Amino acid sequence: MSARSYAKSNEALQRALKTIPLGSQTFSKSHQQFPQGAAPLFLDRGRGGRVWDIDGHEYVDLICGLLPVLLGYQDKDVDEAIIAQLGKGISFSLSTTLEFKLSEMLVDLIPCAEMVRYGKNGTDATSGAVRLARGFTGKDHIIALGYHGWQDWYIGATIKNLGIPKSTCALTTKVAYNDLDALRAEFKKFEGDVAAVIMEPMNTTDPQEGYLEAVKAMAHENGALLIFDEVITGFRFANGGAQVLFGVTPDLAAFGKAMGNGMPISALVGRADVMSLMDRIFYSSTFGGEALSLAASIAVIEKMQREPVVETLWKTGSWLAEETLKKIAEAGLAQNITLCGKAPWKILQFADHAHGSKEAIKTLFLKEMLAGGVLLAGSHNICYAHTKADMDHVLKAYTDALAVVKAALEKPGLDERLGIPPIHPVFSVR
Ligand SMILES: Cc1ncc(COP(=O)(O)O)c(C=O)c1O
């Protein structure tokens, strides 16, 4: 694969690091998560399903902003809605009617949604849900299954818990997905004190038959609430989220990412009797009703109802998953590279090879995909604007990248030969 120069990205990183710790606002977008010196680190613009970096290279984007870009960059309908609202104002001194226009749409769309409050990041919605569940049940302990954002109540249960009081860390514990025995044991261990089970309804693995129903029943038997974290699955697995796809309605749910096609907006939705307690807990912020994001979200949902957005994500994602799996098998790498999850968000998993660690395999693979013009971080984040030509481009890049990985694994010591440090995940939650 021809070497690309990332000179401007690398220079920009050095400049950014002088005034910005990590050089980025997001771990997953930072230099730590890409092949060192062999990756774009700063983007200039995007259109449809493609982006351009500051060195001028074009990519089919399979990161899509870490999943907010649902319709595509510069979506005409959403951008027009933002521009129209910009002509009126952004943040006002009182509420706007956009707030209930959107909440009415969410209530129509999402089974558990009887009432709605907004936030800016997914973390706002998950953290609000947890506080609400504690307020409603009068209990403290939280059982978590997945990734739920950067706040103390969740991060305290991970290895990235520096700066979080020990007493807070102890209040959240994690159990494995699809493991009802483990969940039962956790309820026993914290008997009478579990406020909620918060879970991604699905990430890498399909729920076993009856699993989500059983989690809900167990939560309720123990006087706890069930919270679905639909920050990724919402507006992606189905218009109303994974709760529509799987037919299980939680008490509360958190939405974010895709609902604004890139604008910062999230929503905490749920049962009216629980949500009503919002008047008594404290969930209040300056930008909760910021109007550009509300206008964008209304435009996103209207478009999703008018056009086959989710259907297209499934179709495009399925095609790409099937074709890439064939290429992986043809390269003899099926033991080392696999895809899991649902078609609109397929997650790549890497396994060690006798001649190289999974981290080294992933690093080399990403490096080659980037060189082939595909911006990829570890999952197929499909957007509505991805075209057949985009997908053909991705497949060609896969073919070339897999050939390089295959050749590299023919002799021992890939980690030493890689020439750059293998990428390690921030922490493993999926
Ligand atoms: C499932 C899930 N929940 C919550 C969050 C937190 O969202 P945010 O980063 O917008 O705060 C994320 C972010 O990646 C997520 O994937």
Digit-coded pLDDT (tens) for 182-229: 999 999 999 999 999 999 999 999 999 999 999 999 999 999 999 999
Q: What is the pLDDT of residue 417?
A: 97
How far apart are the C-alpha atoms of 63 and 43, rounded to whole Å?
Answer: 12
Residue nearest atom 13 in ligand 1 by C-alpha distance:
149
Mean of per-residue pLDDT scores for the chain: 97
Residue nearest atom 4 in ligand 1 by C-alpha distance:
148
- Is the pLDDT reported for residue 281 higher than 60? yes
CA 171 and chain centroid, separation: 24
Judge if the beta carbon of residue 201 lies within 6 A of ligand 1.
Answer: no
- Is the pLDDT reported for residue 166 higher than 60? yes
How far apart are the C-alpha atoms of 290 and 218, rounded to whole Å?
Answer: 38
Range(s) for CATH 3.90.1150.10 in the chain? 7-73+309-417
- Which residue in 340, 322, 160, 344 sits closest to 241, CA to CA? 344
User: CB of 267 within 8 A of CB of 126?
Assistant: no
Strands in 58-61's sheet, in edge-to-edge order, are 43-47, 50-53, 58-61, 374-375
User: Nearest 5°: phi and psi at 109?
Assistant: -90, -35
How far apart are the C-alpha atoms of 235 and 238, rounded to whole Å?
Answer: 6
Residue nearest atom 7 in ligand 1 by C-alpha distance:
122
CA distances from 231 to 144, 146, 164, 258, 411 (A): 14, 11, 23, 8, 42
User: CB of 169 within 8 A of CB of 159?
Assistant: no
Q: Half-sphere exposure (CA, 13 Å, Cβ side) for 103?
A: 19
What is the residue type of 377? Answer: A
Strands in 172-174's sheet, in edge-to-edge order, are 115-119, 266-270, 252-255, 225-229, 194-199, 141-145, 172-174
CB-based contacts of 167-172 (< 8 A; 24+ apart in sequence): 171/140, 171/141, 171/142, 172/141, 172/142, 172/143, 172/144
Strand partners, 238: 234
Q: What is the pLDDT of residue 2?
A: 53
- Is the pLDDT reported for residue 277 higher than 60? yes
Sort strands 266-270 and 337-340 into parallel, antiparallel or unpaired: unpaired
User: CB of 271 within 8 A of CB of 283?
Assistant: no
Q: State percent of the chain over pLDDT 70.
A: 100
Torsion sign across C-alpha atoms 239, 242, 246, 247: negative
Residue nearest atom 14 in ligand 1 by C-alpha distance:
149
Q: State percent of the chain over pLDDT 90.
A: 98
SS3 of the chain = CCCCCCHHHHHHHHHHHHHCHHHCCCHHHCHHHCCCCCCCCCEEEEEECEEEECCCCEEEECCHHHCCCCCCECCHHHHHHHHHHHCCCCCCCCCCCHHHHHHHHHHHHCCCCCEEEEECCHHHHHHHHHHHHHHHHCCCEEEEECCCCCCHHHHCCCCCCCCCCHHHHCCEEECCCCCHHHHHHHHHHCCCCEEEEEECCCCCCCCCCCHHHHHHHHHHHCCCEEEEECCCCECCCECCCHHHHHCCCCCEEEECHHHHCCCCCEEEEECHHHHHHHHCCCCCCCCCCCHHHHHHHHHHHHHHHHCCHHHHHHHHHHHHHHHHHHHHHHCCCCCCEEEECCCCEEEEEECCECCECHHHHHHHHHHHHHHCCEECCCEEECCCCCCHHHHHHHHHHHHHHHHHHHHHCCCCCHHHHCCCCCCCCCCCCC
Sort strands 58-61 and 172-174 into parallel, antiparallel or unpaired: unpaired
How far apart are the C-alpha atoms of 158 and 245, rounded to whole Å?
Answer: 29
Judge if the beta carbon of residue 85 lies within 6 A of ligand 1.
Answer: no
Q: What is the CATH number of domain 91-289?
A: 3.40.640.10
94 C-alpha to center of ligand 1: Å? 28
The pLDDT-based confidence of 429 (bands split at 50, 70, 90) is confident
Q: What is the pLDDT of residue 77?
A: 98
How far apart are the C-alpha atoms of 255 and 67, rounded to whole Å?
Answer: 12
Judge if the beta carbon of residue 123 lies within 6 A of ligand 1.
Answer: yes
**Which residue shows structure tokens 């606002």?**
25
103 C-alpha to center of ligand 1: Å? 21
Digit-coded pLDDT (tens) for 291-336: 999 999 999 999 999 999 999 999 999 999 999 999 999 999 999 9
Most ligand 1 atoms within 8 A of CB, residue of 118, 145, 230, 232 to mutate? 232
Residue nearest atom 8 in ligand 1 by C-alpha distance:
122
- Is the pLDDT reported for residue 238 higher than 60? yes
- Is the pLDDT reported for residue 3 higher than 80? no
391 C-alpha to center of ligand 1: Å? 26
Range(s) for CATH 3.40.640.10 in the chain? 91-289
CATH superfamily, region 7-73+309-417: Aspartate Aminotransferase, domain 1 (3.90.1150.10)
- Computed over its alpha carbons, how large is the radius of gyration of the chain? 22
Tokens of 365: 């693979």
Digit-coded pLDDT (tens) for 370-383: 999 999 999 999 99
Q: What is the pLDDT of residue 205?
A: 96
Q: What is the pLDDT of residue 425?
A: 87
Sort strands 58-61 and 374-375 into parallel, antiparallel or unpaired: parallel
354 C-alpha to center of ligand 1: Å? 35
Digit-coded pLDDT (tens) for 38-85: 999 999 999 999 999 999 999 999 999 999 999 999 999 999 999 999
CA angle 147, 150, 198 (to 5 degrees): 40
